[in-house]
Amino acid sequence: MDAAASALRHWHRPRSAPVSGAHHASIAPYGPFRCGNGATVHLAVQNEPQWTRLCEQVLRRPELAVDPRFTTVASRVDHRDELHSELQRTFDGLTAEELLLALDTADVPAARTRDVLGLADHPQLAARDRWREVPTPGGAQARMLRPPVDATHWSWSPTPVPRLGQHTGEVLRWLGYDDQSARELHEKGVV
């Protein structure tokens, strides 16, 4: 939670925000939830219409939308553990793909939570042509992610992966070392 949100919460609800881990401290349900297939979906319910659609269309439990523990964002935060238990009852029976399809159909913000390898294989990166192959000193190719922004006034052309030590002299000069100091670092095995 950022400082401004924390201060506003304190002024309007005179107590400290709870520790919430990966979940949002002042919005619920907002954060990662485990699905039945072990994958994780990040849910981002930020207002009452989204909450109602989640209850009615995804959970198929419209009574939760009017349950006094859950009718407002603040009450959902106050009853976070109970809320998460109610959600988990449904999420345990769904794969991430099934849950994401239901959330998308209900217009409830969510995304699959991915690990690093899952991010590397994200279909949107392939669809946006974000990967390039660059040569390595050993002759193999390495995948490299393009910069996140394309621009019309410049283009990105990756250079081959450098050999170990290939740019050490340039880096040392950039850091302010003269040739003699750089030689001493080499002789001592520092670089």
Domain membership of residue 38 as a residue range: 3-113
Q: How far apart are CA 35 and CA 99, in angstroms?
A: 8
Each residue's pLDDT tens digit, 127-176? 998 899 999 999 999 989 998 888 888 888 888 999 999 999 999 999 99
**Does the residue 154 lie in any domain?**
no
Whether residue 11 is predicted with pLDDT greater than 90 in this model: the reply is no
Token pair for residue 140? 């193999």
In this structure, the answer to whether residues 11 and 64 fall within a common structural domain is yes
**Does the residue 103 lie in any domain?**
yes
pLDDT of residue 25: 85
Each residue's pLDDT tens digit, 29-40? 999 999 999 999
Q: Are 109 and 46 in contact (CB under 8 A)?
A: yes
Whether residue 102 is predicted with pLDDT greater than 70 in this model: the reply is yes
Each residue's pLDDT tens digit, 47-86? 999 999 999 999 999 999 999 999 999 999 999 999 999 9
In this structure, the answer to whether residues 35 and 91 fall within a common structural domain is yes
Closest CA to 45 of 56, 124, 95: 56
Specify the number of domains making up the chain. 3
In this structure, the answer to whether residues 127 and 141 fall within a common structural domain is yes
